[in-house]
Amino acid sequence: MKSLLKKGFNALDSLFSKVFTPAWNPMYQLGALSFFYFWIVAITGVYLFIFFETSITGAHASMEYISVEQWYLGGIMRSFHRYASAAMGVCVTLHLVREYAMDRYSGVRWFSWVSGIPLLWLLFASSIGGYWLVWDIQAQYIALLTAQWFDWLPIMVDPMASNFLNEAALSDRFFSLLVFLHIGIPLSLLLGMFIHIKRITGARTNPAKGLAAGTLLAMLVLSLWQPAMSQAPANLDMTITEVGLDWIFLNPYTLIGSWGPGQTWALLVGLSSFLTIIPWLPSKREKQTPVAVVDPENCNGCGWCLADCPYEAVTMKVHDYKKGHQQSVVDPDLCISCGICAGACPSSSPFRHVDELTTGISIPGFHIKELLSLTENKLHGLSTDKPRIMVYGCDHGSVLDDMASTNIATISMPCTALVPPAFIDYVLRKDLADGVMISGCCEGDCHYRLGNEWMNQRFSKERMPILRTRVPRDKVRLRWLGVQGTKQLGREVAEFQAHLEEEQLDFVELSNE
Amino acid sequence: MNKLVRYSAQAVFYALFFVPLAYVSHQPNYRYMEDDIAVLKVAVRHAGEIIGECKSIVGESHGMRPSSMVQAVEVCPRERSPLELELILDGETLYRAQVAPSGLHNDGISSMYQRFELPAGPHHLQIRMNDDIKVDGFNWQFEQDINLQPAQVMVASFKEGFRIQ
Ligand code: HEM
């Protein structure tokens, strides 16, 4: 099922990248979009709170006032409040399914995964609390079923339902409690959201500006066209027969009614517990290779690996023996074994005059000296009848298996940002190849979050270690096409080869003249 | 893709996302109950009678002290009777239960709530309760003909006797 989901997401990713561009692709920023919707809900909520009346008779009437009399501002705020909550519900669900489908929930990521689950409860509770405040017939339905649900628990001494027996039993105090909860629960949600991203370096909490603008515009149009309204006011002296429901957040309520409160508890608590243990369930996914290791002899404490680690696994300490220097330290509980740190280390240069290439930090599963020997061995065997190309790729992006030929060498590794820019310089200067192609995950959707972004920045000299100016840029290509772009990468490699061949011919002609 | 085509396609995707979202945020309607059904809610919050009598302990443990210092000490049990409740509608028992007092020492209030969905129309309702295990049978009784309107909520509660609202 997971591979089917993954295929589905890959297809959607490609479609959205075409329509929205990779930078605006909403599939790559579902977590950031969830944050964005949260802020919309929070800001509009403050506005609604100013006009909301905390009383049995005032609640519904004040919401009517906001929607009808003040449709041009309050009404729009209310619609934004409702639709952003719903959109957050959808985005969070998609985010969960996507992280699962893309195998981004186990190992070091267990923390983000597990801390995400309480957020689901808090998000649902926040939304349900909001609908309750309106005190229309949907709120009445919520009140009755919530009471039925909680009264099932043996901890309830006084049945909650006795607060909603009839109109006479209802008290204004209950609305004060509801308002308190509708502020407190979203605040806990926000706190939970920050804990959720705590272990992630520079977590993406803001969507791309273009996507944010498009979303706001779409919500404005929707709010004018279909403003959020209340249903008929609640009346506890009458039962509810038919009621309009928010199916995104209230679908568990239909279970309480039809299935029973105990069964609903069992299902929801069971489902949450099952979700919680998913990262530790046996699965076919590859085991994580050993974590990064620091070699103090080759570490001068520059901090580039710290800056590039996507999971905050690297910190610095005073060097073991080099006076006045610092030294990197890897926290094994946080390291995901991507190898991006090795690509960042200035000691990972094959130009160094050492018998055996060593470096300051590297992952044992794919050491930098292994990358060098693989590169040299594969390239030495290539035929020169056509331009030779070195294709570096990653295990999560475009598949390189069928791409190798007599003139093309391929090497796949955990993340292409493991390749130090000096390697590309080395390959071309030593004339081991005529061109270098760097491939990997889709732009904006690196399996290790930041690999392709760091690589782009190293190439454009915005990030250390840079790809030196002397490296001819027309002999190097970066193509982030993902698994779904495997065929396209094959075509682009062929096209790159043709381009290099043309250049070689031009060069020969020029020299002859 | 040129910019205009791309923005138009984006507009289509925004619509594909938000229009169904707006719809499912309040539709389709959910049928919770049929139209010709009424609801009877029974809610009782009542402390049963105390079980046992107060006991005077004068002269037992204070036997050694001078009689002028001895005060009459009464020890009263705290445990309360559970409530025996029965609800009979049109001669048929709908509900029968024993509601235990709350509190670690069974000395608190007994609290119960039940909700019944009944066909609208005339019914004969009887509610009986015993709140004192020293008494045989039901020491609180209530009986009335009621006529439930469709979707009506009728509440039977207890305060020095049953009453319906
Ligand atoms: C209020 C709800 C949520 C919000 C706002 C949220 C937001 C985010 C954000 C901003 C990131 C960082 C993305 C990045 O920069 O790479 C993230 C990562 C993650 N989230 Fe959530 N999330 C939420 C709920 C959930 C839930 C319910 C789950 C699953 C149970 C989940 C699982 C994960 C995982 C596994 C990661 C780590 C991804 C990685 O390391 O590559 N999240 N989330």
Q: Examine the domain organization and report whether A258 and A303 are in the same domain.
A: no
Residue A267 has pLDDT above 90, yes or no: yes
A111 and A248, same structural domain? yes
Residues A432 and A358: their CA atoms lie apart, in Å, by: 21
- Chain B residues within 8 A of A151 when measuring between CB atoms: 113
Q: Is A288 within the bounds of a domain? A: no
pLDDT range class, residue B63, cuts 50, 70, 90: low
Measured in Å, residue B104 CA sits from the centre of ligand 1 at 44
DSSP B142: E
Tell me the two tokens of residue A92.
């969070």
Contact call for B32 and A244, based on CB within 8 A: no
Q: Is the peptide bond before A465 cis (omega within 30 degrees of 0)?
A: yes
Cβ contact B21–A243 (<8 Å): no
- B18/A contact by beta carbon, under 8 A: yes
Task: Say whether pLDDT at B70 is over 70.
Answer: no
Average model confidence (pLDDT) for chain A? 93
* Residue A445 forms part of a structural domain: yes
Is it the case that residue B62 has pLDDT exceeding 60? no
Q: Is the dihedral of CA A342, A442, A211, A187 positive or negative?
A: negative
A155: pLDDT confidence band, cut at 50, 70 and 90?
confident
Among residues B102, B29, B77, which one has the least CA distance to residue A247?
B29
Q: Is the pLDDT of residue B160 over 70?
A: yes
Report strand pairing: B55-56 vs A361-362: unpaired
Tell me whether B4 touches chain A (CB under 8 Å): no
pLDDT of amino acid B66: 60
Tell me: do A226 and A250 sit in the same domain. yes
- Is there a single domain that holds both residue A447 and residue A303? yes
Assess whether A378 and A439 both reside in one domain.
yes
Reply yes or no on whether the pLDDT at A157 is more than 90.
no
Residue A324 lies in a domain: yes
Q: CA neighbours within 13 Å on the CB side: how many for A341?
A: 34
A199 contact partners, CB below 8 Å, separation of at least 6: A108, A111, A112, A311, A312, A334
Q: What's the pLDDT tens digit per position in B93-114? A: 989 988 888 888 888 888 889 8
Atom 9 of ligand 1, residue of closest alpha carbon: A31
3-state SS class at A410? strand
Give the closest-approach CA distance of A140 to chain B in angstroms.
Answer: 12
Rounded to two decimals, what is the model's pTM?
Answer: 0.90
Q: Given 3-state DSSP classes, what are the helix, strand and coil percentages for chain B, each rounded to the nearest 5?
A: 15, 45, 40
In a domain, A286, yes or no: no
pLDDT digits (tens, 9 = 90+) for A41-62: 999 999 999 999 888 888 999 9
DSSP letters, A244-266, are E--TTTSHHHHHHHHT-HHHHHH
Mean pLDDT of B128-153: 88
Work out the burial of residue A157: count CB atoms within 10 Å of its CB; fewer than 13 is exposed, 13-18 middle, 19 or more buried. Answer: exposed
The pLDDT of residue B67 is above 70: no
Express the helix, strand and coil content of chain A in percent, nearest 5 each: 60, 10, 35
d(CA A173, CA A50): 18
Nearest residue (by CA) to ligand 1, atom 31, is A116
Whether A266 and A340 share a structural domain: no
Closest CA of chain B from A217, distance in Å: 9
The total of other beta-carbon atoms located within 10 Å of residue B5's CB is 10
For residue A95, the SS3 value is helix
Which pLDDT value is given to residue A73?
93
Residue nearest to atom 28 of ligand 1 (CA): A116
CA A287 – ligand 1 centroid, Å:
22
CA proximity to B17, closest of A219, A7, A444 = A219
Alpha carbons within 13 angstroms on the beta-carbon side of residue A143 total 25
Phi, psi of A453 (to 5 degrees): -65, -45
Lowest mean pLDDT among A11-20, A232-241, B99-108: B99-108
Which range among A122-131, A338-347, A470-479, B55-64 shows the weakest confidence by mean pLDDT?
Answer: B55-64
Residues A261 and A315 both lie in one domain: no
The ipTM is 0.89
For the stretch A400-425, pLDDT in tens is 988 999 999 999 999 999 999 999 99
What was the pLDDT predicted at B83?
87
Q: Which residues contact B146 (CB under 8 A, 6 or more apart)?
A: B122, B123, B124, B125, B154, B164
The structure tokens listed for A510 are 């020029």
**What is the full DSSP assignment across A267-311?**
HHHHHHHHHHHGGGS--SSPPPPPPPEE-GGG-----HHHHH-TT
Counted domains in chain A: 2
Q: Is the pLDDT of residue A507 over 80?
A: no
**Strand order from edge to edge, sheet including A435-440:** A408-413, A389-394, A435-440, A476-480
The rounded Å distance from CA A201 to ligand 1 centre is 13
Higher pLDDT, A357 or A231: A231
Q: Which protein residues are within 6 Å of ligand 1, measured from CB?
A: A 31-32, 34-35, 92, 95-96, 99, 104-105, 109, 112-113, 116-117, 119-120, 123, 193, 196-197, 200, 203-205, 275, 449
Note whether B6 contacts A240, CB cutoff 8 Å: no
How many secondary structure helices (H) and strands (E) does chain A include? 16, 9
> Which pLDDT band holds residue A83 (cuts at 50, 70, 90)?
very high
Answer yes or no: is pLDDT of A278 > 90: yes
Smallest CA–CA distance, residue A246 to chain B, in Å, is 4
pLDDT of residue A461: 94
Q: Are strands B29-31 and A242-244 parallel, antiparallel or unpaired?
A: antiparallel
Residues contacting A436, CB < 8 A, separation 6+: A389, A390, A391, A392, A424, A427, A428, A475, A476, A477
Report the SS3 class of residue B126. Answer: strand
CA distance B112 to A266: 23
Q: Are A101 and A9 in contact (CB under 8 A)?
A: yes
β-bridge partners, B147: B122
Whether residue A287 is contained in a domain is answered as no
pLDDT of residue A204: 93
pLDDT of residue A339: 95
To the nearest whole percent, how much of chain A has pLDDT over 70? 99
pLDDT by residue (tens digit) across A374-389? Answer: 999 999 989 989 999 9
Answer yes or no: is A337 within a domain: yes
Quote the Cα angle for A377-A379-A383, to 5°: 125
Residue at B30: amino acid letter: Y
Q: A118 and A221 share a domain? A: yes
Query: Within 13 Å of residue A495, how many CA atoms lie on the same side as its CB?
Result: 8
Task: Verify that A380 and A416 share a domain, yes or no.
Answer: yes
Query: What is the model's pLDDT at position B60?
Result: 53
* Contact criterion met (CB < 8 Å) for B19 and A222: yes
In this structure, the answer to whether residues A249 and A319 fall within a common structural domain is: no
Domain ranges of chain B: 2-164
Smallest CA-to-CA distance from A360 within A371, A376, A374, A344 is with A344
Beta-carbon pairs below 8 A across chains A and B: 122
Q: How far is CA B62 from CA B53, B58, B68, in A?
A: 21, 7, 11
Q: For an interface test with A, which of B25, B40, B104, B113 has the most A Cβ atoms less than 10 Å from its Cβ?
A: B25
Handedness of CA A405, A409, A410, A416 (dihedral sign): negative
**Residue A479: other Cβ atoms inside 10 A:** 20
* Region B9-26 average pLDDT: 96
Verify that A275 and A299 share a domain, yes or no.
no
Contact yes or no for B142/B165 (Cβ under 8 A)? no
User: Could you tell which of A36, A113, A187 is best to mutate to test the pocket of ligand 1, judged by most ligand atoms within 8 Å of the CB?
Assistant: A113
Check whether residue A252 and residue A312 sit in a common domain.
no
Give strand pairing partners of A480: A440
Distance CA A480, CA A28 (A): 14
Long-range contacts at A115-120 (CB < 8 A, ≥ 24 apart)? A115/A192, A115/A195, A115/A196, A115/A198, A116/A196, A117/A272, A117/A275, A117/A276, A118/A192, A119/A92, A119/A189, A119/A192, A119/A193, A119/A196, A120/A92, A120/A96, A120/A272
Q: What is the DSSP string of A231-243?
A: -SBP-TTB---EE
Interface test with A, best of B32, B39, B114 (most A CBs within 10 A): B32
Q: Does a structural domain hold residue A497?
A: yes
- Report CA(A104)–ligand 1 centroid distance (Å): 10
pLDDT surpassing 80 at residue A116: yes
**Cβ within 8 Å, pair A238-B37:** no
A41 occurs within a structural domain: yes
A75 pLDDT more than 90: yes
Tokens 């760091």 appear where? A454
How many angstroms separate the CA of residue B5 from the nearest CA in chain A? 9
Whether pLDDT at B61 is above 70: no
Residue A44: give the domain boundaries. Answer: 2-236+244-280
- Closest-CA residue to B13 (of A91, A79, A216, A19): A19
Would you place residue B159 in the very low, low, confident or very high pLDDT band (cuts 50, 70, 90)? confident
- Tell me which of A154 and A288 has the higher pLDDT: A154
Nearest of A477, A495, A461 to residue A390 by alpha carbon: A477
CATH assignment of the domain containing A173 = 1.20.810.10
Give me the residue from A20, A148, A243 closest to B29, CB to CB: A243
- CB contact B114 to A (< 8 Å): no
How would residue A237 be classed by pLDDT, with cut points 50, 70 and 90? very high
Closest-CA residue, ligand 1 atom 39, reads A104
How many whole angstroms separate alpha carbon A135 and alpha carbon A175?
9
User: Do the Cβ atoms of A216 and A54 come closer than 8 Å?
Assistant: no
Residue type at B157 in one-letter notation: S
CB-CB contact of A152 with A219 (8 Å): no
For residue A218, give the chain B residue with the closest CA.
B14
pLDDT surpasses 70 at A178: yes
